[in-house]
Structure 1
Amino acid sequence: MGRADSMPVALSTRPSFDSLILEPVPGLKRWTQLRNAGQWISRQWKETTREVHRDLRSKDLRKPIFYVLYLCWLGLPSLAIGILASTQNVTSLVQGIVTTACQPDGSFSPYANSYNAWDWASSGFFEITLAFGPMGFTPAKVIDICWDVIVGRAGQAVLAMVSWHVFSQYTTTSMDDSPVTYRTFWIVFLHKEPTFYSIMHLIKDFFSYRRLNSTVGMIFMITTITFTLVFPTLASAMTGYSPVNKAFIQNEDGNLIPFSDFHILAYVIHDGYRVNLTTDTYITRPLGEYYIDPIVWTGDDEMTYYGCFYRERCTLVNAVSQYVSSYGFYGKNNTKSTWENTTLPAPALNISAYYIPPGRLFGNNWTDPGTQRKPFHDQTGLTYTMSNRTYPLDYITTYGSCQPVLNEYQWGFSFAQLFILSVLLFVWTIGISIMWLKAHSKLPLQGHPEVPKGWKAVILLAEAMNTELPEAGINAHALKDQEVKGKIRERLKGGSVRFDAPLTRKEYCFRTALYMWFKTNDLGKRISRNKWWWTALLIASVLLPLIMMLGDYALTPRVFLIAISSCTILGILLALSIGSTTRSRLFVTWIWIMAGLIVFIGVCASGKLDKHSRSSR
């Protein structure tokens, strides 16, 4: 017998079920992958929410929320200034593109871009040039009242609250070396209301009796009180409602015809009967879908008008344009021609034209072989038609007017006043921030947990008066109030209130401290540690002003990018302040991005973007 291992092994041809058991079924494998992915997502979500909850509980949210609100407050006037400063035509700022010949100030002009928002004439300064509507009288009145109450009065309350809080802190830092008068102390620490009385007496006390350490600080305080006092008036004066205007043209009979009934002439087919048209058929260019009046846009050396971007609405004018591009004008081509798949015997159709803007229609650069001139290139040749009558552009400009529409109103802003108020709010924000930083860097007083206010301020004022009045020989109980005031001015130069407690950091210099902070702080390490977050913040911050420069081009993507980039900036800032982990920061940032997306969807749902996009076609 031979060895067993040398014997040949017979291969089995029977099917084996081991491979079927060991190898997963493709459908089962896919299901397992989906289940594992779902479990991973669920686990990541639970860990993320746990980290966010831990960050929210372990950190004081008042500072991050304050920073975000401050940036929003600072960004609001900055954004308004940026948008308004880059605007020439204020109507396009509201409507996306100008659609009517009635200008924001109520005047008539067939030129869409003729109104200059920066021409602050006496009439235009108070005109409602940034208007929204149309609407009824009641909604316009309700909006105007709500604006005056909410923005005017509530805005004044916010300005006063913030300003006097900072004034009291700043004055406290100055009273260690430069005491203030009784009246100044009362206005800053107790009165806390913007009145004409407080303004006049602060001016008198600052420049006649006792000054603060900083002249700039005194001037800023007086200016801020004045600004706070007149803020409701400014907020109310820059808004209002006015009737909606409609453009009309006075014809030869003295009747007013709506300008929307007029059309811009492009061509005239003088032998239109040859193609089943009438003799001297006027070929006009239809308006854009959302245009109200046949207005034109002027440039340095050309004039354009919109519309005719939809083929079904412009079949005839496009057919004429194609025909004259092949056979020329005035019927001078003595050959057969083709008109919309129909062969015409010689000569070609006798077609002339008026002014043709450069663009889709043929004729602007056409040269007459006989005169070697371009007859349809002259802008003065622009002509309108209505009821088979022609009206040159000069006639339209001379006899055009805007009349109010019955029971239709619009509410809005004066461009000039809105811009001025935005600049004033921005200057106030920067100034009050610097004043707060300078005061906050030197406080608190030693032994005093807070700046004096309320009853404590009353006690301090009473102590100062009880000390100084007897020394000056003033018996307040035996004199009338006016006599006491007069003797305080004469003998005490308004009196003096100071704090005996020294400042904690009296020699603190804001500029030196800022330099040392940048020099010794681990800011560089923190930026390096979060470099990708700071890179994303920088990209979003640079992207936002670039998007604003696009004007009316690509409106829908522009609004989308503005909403997303703005919310991304706020989200990253809040995430860096609150979040301690990458997941937590991503969650906070994503919440803000979703908020921006919701805003964009809401704007799209309103139909405003669709209207603007189509009107520019």
Structure 2
Amino acid sequence: MGPAAWSLTFDSIKQRVPLAVRSSTRSTSRFVQTKVWPVVKKFPFTKRQLFGLLLLVVCGILPFIILGKATQDGGYGAGGPLFYDVFSPKIIDCGDGFGQPQNSTISGIEALFVLDNTFGRFPFSQAKTIDVAWDILVGRGAQLFAWWVSYIVFSDALLRLIERHPATYETFMRIALEGPCLASAWILLKELFRKRSKRTWALFFYMLLSSLYVLAIPTFLSAMTAGYDASTIAWVNPDNDDNIVPASYFSSEIVVFGTRNSTFETPTCAAGQQISNIGSYSNTREAYCIFDYPGNTQTYEVTYPDRQTLNCACRPGSNATLKVTIGNQSYDVADLNYTQGWCWEDQGYDYAGLMDSARCLPDTSHPTYQWGFSTMLSGVFIIINFIWCLTMYIVWQDAQLCGKLVKSGFRMTQLRAAFVLTEAAKQKTGFEERELITAEKTELEKELFGSKKFVAAEVDRYLFRDDRKGGWEEGDEGVRKRRTRSEEREV
């Protein structure tokens, strides 16, 4: 292809690109105008909507984001994967020890309940008080708040459901009067085995899961703190026997393993302080032995706190010598095989051996308790809570935007639910208020809740209409039964 052809091709591309950009811009603008803007325009930006969005952000989205950023590490720093530290193996803090004790790293399902973020050292009474206060104030407080949110969402969703088809009397009673509880969870479970539309079945299934979550909140919050835990320290088994010693008992000193020609049966630390003075002795000799001339025999003597004496011969080529005593035997330091190690009761140990035998165990000498959190279980709770908040918001928005009763401003309360249930019971049984109060309990429950003999009572949308005038739509049979009972009483 020649230069002219390339020029023509390039000009053609330049002409087509702006056309494509303009076409794409027009398509996007048309989509926003016809699809997006009508939805935004119809969206009710009310105080109720803003409050619901605020709850979603504060209770669900914000904790989820904070957790992801706080656990973003994995050795990658700020650029690491989100939530990495939530599910990584947990390390128990054993204080100062030899490396990382073998039982200090916990992984798998056991890591769910490990208190890897602890603080304080408390006596038992204080640790127990903190634990009880957490369970009551935080655990039960969070459950109460979740119950309140669930009651509002469930009630609005139930009203939206009733607009499509009636709800059973017992289902309405449990949800509208009691909210998420064991009784409502049981009735929702039974509803899953009845013939329902897929949409209704999915709603009941979600309400069941949500109710179980609300019931489990105190257990979750209590388990993720695991209450209090005994303070642990590093213990070592230096001689590979049944005796364990706190790692704090060991000190870093010079360990003598033997001489150039022999090895001691047991490494010793008895001469550690003596050997550590070598540097001081050498410095003293350089400072005071200044008479360096042929034939000089003068010496300089210094006695140190450990009662070791330095004899310095101030003549050319002389070297200071240090004699140390180990086991009633004198040795020249230059002949000893020693290095820096760890000592306990004048016996020396190497770092690697102590590290292999280190274990995390409770501090029996100074028993205290710590209080803290399990990172993994806390992370699991926050993630589940985020999913719960998001799905609850979606269910609530469906009722707010699509439910006629909810859009009209109707709000369910427990008092209003009691009135609705009373009217539904009157329709089903034909009883008046006093008759409902004094009716035989077992037979009344069978008639309202349903049994082999009776079809369960229902709560339908006509109970919520404002245009009822003298009688109930689709309730003539109940009216006839009520009139018949009244006539029998008059006779």
Whether TM-score is above 0.5 comes out as yes
Instruction: Identify if the C-alpha distance between structure 1 residues 415 and 242 changes in structure 2 by more than 3 Å, giving closer, same or farther.
Output: same
Instruction: Identify if the C-alpha distance between structure 1 residues 490 and 78 changes in structure 2 by more than 3 Å, giving closer, same or farther.
Output: farther
Matched, 1:404 2:363: yes
**Aligned partners of 1:212 and 1:399: how far apart in 2?**
59
Letter in 2 for 1:262: F
1:86 corresponds to:
84
> Which string of whole-angstrom CA distances, capped at 9 and with x for unpartnered residues, describes residues 59-80 of structure 1?
9988666644532212214433
Structure 2 residue corresponding to 1:496, chosen from 446, 454, 458: 458
1:243 corresponds to:
230
1:248·1:400 contact (CA, 8 Å) conserved in 2? Answer: yes
1:446·1:502 contact (CA, 8 Å) conserved in 2? Answer: no
2:348 corresponds to:
390
1:434 corresponds to:
394
Instruction: Identify if the C-alpha distance between structure 1 residues 180 and 67 changes in structure 2 by more than 3 Å, giving closer, same or farther.
Output: closer
2:168·2:459 contact (CA, 8 Å) conserved in 1? Answer: yes
Instruction: Identify if the C-alpha distance between structure 1 residues 178 and 261 changes in structure 2 by more than 3 Å, giving closer, same or farther.
Output: same
Q: Deviation of residue 190 (structure 1)?
A: 1.4
> Which string of whole-angstrom CA distances, capped at 9 and with x for unpartnered residues, describes residues 452-503 of structure 1?
32333222222223223349xxx96896222222243345542221213899
> Which string of whole-angstrom CA distances, capped at 9 and with x for unpartnered residues, describes residues 311-349 of structure 1?
xxxx99xxxxxxxxxxxxxxxxxxxxxxxxxx9979x97
> Which string of whole-angstrom CA distances, capped at 9 and with x for unpartnered residues, describes residues 77-135 of structure 1?
4433664532246458xx8xx7444xxxxxxx8426974454223xx554434322212
> Which string of whole-angstrom CA distances, capped at 9 and with x for unpartnered residues, describes residues 27-47 of structure 1?
xxxxxxxxxxxxxxxxxxxxx
Structure 2 residue corresponding to 1:226, chosen from 212, 225, 233: 212
**Aligned partners of 1:477 and 1:161: how far apart in 2?**
29
Per the alignment, in what secondary structure is the counterpart of residue 208 of structure 1? coil
**Aligned partners of 1:447 and 1:134: how far apart in 2?**
55
Q: Deviation of residue 202 (structure 1)?
A: 2.0
Instruction: Identify if the C-alpha distance between structure 1 residues 404 and 154 changes in structure 2 by more than 3 Å, giving closer, same or farther.
Output: same
2:170 corresponds to:
183
Per the alignment, in what secondary structure is the counterpart of residue 108 of structure 2? coil
Structure 2 residue corresponding to 1:168, chosen from 149, 155, 160: 155
Q: Deviation of residue 258 (structure 1)?
A: 2.8
**Aligned partners of 1:67 and 1:395: how far apart in 2?**
57
1:187·1:198 contact (CA, 8 Å) conserved in 2? Answer: yes
Matches within 5 A, 1:573-584: none
Q: Deviation of residue 249 (structure 1)?
A: 3.0
Q: Alpha carbon RMSD of aligned pairs, Å?
A: 4.6
**Aligned partners of 1:428 and 1:280: how far apart in 2?**
64
Structure 1 residue corresponding to 2:422, chosen from 462, 465, 469: 462
Instruction: Identify if the C-alpha distance between structure 1 residues 422 and 478 changes in structure 2 by more than 3 Å, giving closer, same or farther.
Output: closer
1:181·1:210 contact (CA, 8 Å) conserved in 2? Answer: no
Instruction: Identify if the C-alpha distance between structure 1 residues 134 and 280 changes in structure 2 by more than 3 Å, giving closer, same or farther.
Output: closer
Q: Deviation of residue 208 (structure 1)?
A: 2.5
Per the alignment, in what secondary structure is the counterpart of residue 128 of structure 1? coil
**Aligned partners of 2:363 and 2:105: how far apart in 1?**
22
Matches within 5 A, 1:154-553: 154-195=141-182, 197-208=183-194, 213-239=199-225, 240-252=227-239, 256-263=244-251, 384-392=342-350, 393-394=352-353, 396-398=355-357, 400=359, 402-405=361-364, 406-445=366-405, 448-470=408-430, 480-487=440-447, 488-490=450-452, 493-500=455-462
> Which string of whole-angstrom CA distances, capped at 9 and with x for unpartnered residues, describes residues 417-474 of structure 1?
3233223212211211111121111134289531332333222222223223349xxx
Letter in 2 for 1:120: I
Letter in 1 for 2:248: S
Letter in 2 for 1:224: S
1:144 corresponds to:
131
Return the TM-score normalized by structure 2.
0.57
Q: Deviation of residue 183 (structure 1)?
A: 0.7
1:269·1:350 contact (CA, 8 Å) conserved in 2? Answer: no
Per the alignment, in what secondary structure is the counterpart of residue 236 of structure 2? strand
Instruction: Identify if the C-alpha distance between structure 1 residues 480 and 437 changes in structure 2 by more than 3 Å, giving closer, same or farther.
Output: same
2:157·2:399 contact (CA, 8 Å) conserved in 1? Answer: yes
Give structure 1 stretches of 5+ with no counterpart. Answer: 1-58, 102-108, 285-314, 317-342, 356-382, 504-617
> Which string of whole-angstrom CA distances, capped at 9 and with x for unpartnered residues, describes residues 577-598 of structure 1?
xxxxxxxxxxxxxxxxxxxxxx
**Aligned partners of 1:261 and 1:235: how far apart in 2?**
38
Matches within 5 A, 1:30-45: none
Q: Deviation of residue 175 (structure 1)?
A: 0.9
Instruction: Identify if the C-alpha distance between structure 1 residues 211 and 148 changes in structure 2 by more than 3 Å, giving closer, same or farther.
Output: farther
Per the alignment, in what secondary structure is the counterpart of residue 451 of structure 1? coil
Q: Deviation of residue 409 (structure 1)?
A: 1.1
Instruction: Identify if the C-alpha distance between structure 1 residues 169 and 69 changes in structure 2 by more than 3 Å, giving closer, same or farther.
Output: closer
**Aligned partners of 1:446 and 1:77: how far apart in 2?**
30
**Aligned partners of 2:406 and 2:104: how far apart in 1?**
61
**Aligned partners of 1:68 and 1:191: how far apart in 2?**
26
Per the alignment, in what secondary structure is the counterpart of residue 220 of structure 1? helix
1:156·1:231 contact (CA, 8 Å) conserved in 2? Answer: yes
1:89·1:113 contact (CA, 8 Å) conserved in 2? Answer: no
Give structure 2 stretches of 5+ with no counterpart. Answer: 1-44, 72-82, 261-268, 281-316, 321-332, 466-491
Per the alignment, in what secondary structure is the counterpart of residue 494 of structure 1? coil
> Which string of whole-angstrom CA distances, capped at 9 and with x for unpartnered residues, describes residues 535-559 of structure 1?
xxxxxxxxxxxxxxxxxxxxxxxxx
Aligned-residue sequence identity (percent) comes to 21
Instruction: Identify if the C-alpha distance between structure 1 residues 112 and 438 changes in structure 2 by more than 3 Å, giving closer, same or farther.
Output: farther
**Aligned partners of 1:447 and 1:400: how far apart in 2?**
64
**Aligned partners of 1:282 and 1:429: how far apart in 2?**
69
1:176·1:500 contact (CA, 8 Å) conserved in 2? Answer: no
Per the alignment, in what secondary structure is the counterpart of residue 100 of structure 2? coil
**Aligned partners of 1:220 and 1:283: how far apart in 2?**
75
Per the alignment, in what secondary structure is the counterpart of residue 429 of structure 2? helix
1:119 corresponds to:
108
Q: Deviation of residue 416 (structure 1)?
A: 4.1
2:116·2:373 contact (CA, 8 Å) conserved in 1? Answer: yes
Higher strand share: 2
263-272 or 440-449, which deviates more: 263-272
Instruction: Identify if the C-alpha distance between structure 1 residues 477 and 398 changes in structure 2 by more than 3 Å, giving closer, same or farther.
Output: closer
1:268·1:282 contact (CA, 8 Å) conserved in 2? Answer: no
**Aligned partners of 2:148 and 2:275: how far apart in 1?**
66
**Aligned partners of 2:137 and 2:437: how far apart in 1?**
45
1:581 corresponds to:
none
Find the structure with the greater CA-based Rg.
2
> Which string of whole-angstrom CA distances, capped at 9 and with x for unpartnered residues, describes residues 358-404 of structure 1?
xxxxxxxxxxxxxxxxxxxxxxxxx6444553324345533756232
Q: Deviation of residue 281 (structure 1)?
A: 7.7
Letter in 1 for 2:373: F
Instruction: Identify if the C-alpha distance between structure 1 residues 282 and 436 changes in structure 2 by more than 3 Å, giving closer, same or farther.
Output: farther
> Which string of whole-angstrom CA distances, capped at 9 and with x for unpartnered residues, describes residues 237-257 of structure 1?
332112212223345597654
